[in-house]
Amino acid sequence: MKKILCMVLCLCLLIPAMVCAERKVVTAVAAEINPDNLKSVLVDARIRAYSKEDSTITVDIITPEKFDPEEIKSLAEGDGIYTQGHEMTVESINTYDTFLTIGSGEEVLTLFTDMEPYGSYDGDFPLWTTLATVTVPVYDDVIYLDDVDPATGDSLPLPAIYSAEEFRSGLAADDAEKPAFAANYYTMVFNSEGNLIEVRRQYVNTNWQ
């Protein structure tokens, strides 16, 4: 009798543990960019600060947050998804033609399913993950390409090309006179030696550029 009671007790303890063990948490796919080896690479970036004394910029190396389609399809109520630095508990999943939504309380994550991996969005704008923050020099051979007309905010048919000195002047300008360098719509190119050689502002259909 004692043996039977012990077996029942063990089962009672094991079953909840097994249920908990089955809960899965999905994370974004690994980024293709290695921020510790910025050589011969183009990266997405946002500019955090500029030092006129050192002629350097502090930059967030960023990547769009994306998820493996098969992992998303395997999610069930009670599972988790790690996004934007925190875990959401899946309470609902609603599927539409080109996207799906994952609900957790008042929080909703939108994933576009017409791309692979699935891209996570806030409205029409992708969600970004910061891989690293680095400080890089702005040498005299850096060029700045701007796809945005500074007067109207419209897209240019061809990017305007500015020298390193003009780029540094823009960085040092008053906030009201310079572009939103801290936005997510910049790319940077590093050469084979790891030096920054190109910065480009991409056009995005908003009214803040």
Domain ranges of the chain: 41-64+130-201, 66-126
Which has the higher per-residue pLDDT, 208 or 64? 64
Across residues 76-83, what is the average pLDDT? 95
E-strand spans in 37-150? 41-51, 56-64, 66-67, 80-83, 86-89, 92-95, 99-104, 107-112, 118-122, 125-126, 128-137, 143-148
Q: Other C-beta atoms within 10 Å of 42: how many?
A: 13
pLDDT (0 to 100) of residue 39 = 96
Closest-CA residue to 47 (of 203, 195, 171): 171
| Chain segment 88-99, per-residue pLDDT in tens | 999 999 999 999
Q: Give whichever of 18-22, 59-63, 180-184 has the largest mean pLDDT.
A: 59-63
Query: Residue 209 pLDDT > 50, yes or no?
Result: no
The per-residue pLDDT for range 100-116, each reduced to its tens digit, is: 999 999 999 999 999 99
Q: How confident is the model at residue 197 (pLDDT cuts 50, 70, 90)?
A: very high
The pLDDT value given to residue 181: 81
- Contact by Cβ (8 Å): 112, 65: no
* CA–CA–CA angle 52, 196, 186 (5° rounding): 85
- pLDDT value of residue 174: 72
Whether 131 has a pLDDT exceeding 90, the answer reads: yes
What's the mean pLDDT in 168-189? 83
Q: Give pLDDT, residue 127.
A: 93
What's the rounded mean pLDDT across residues 28-46? 94
- pLDDT band at residue 3 under the 50/70/90 scheme: low
pLDDT of residue 98: 93
**Alpha-carbon gap, residue 139 to 143, rounded angstroms:** 9
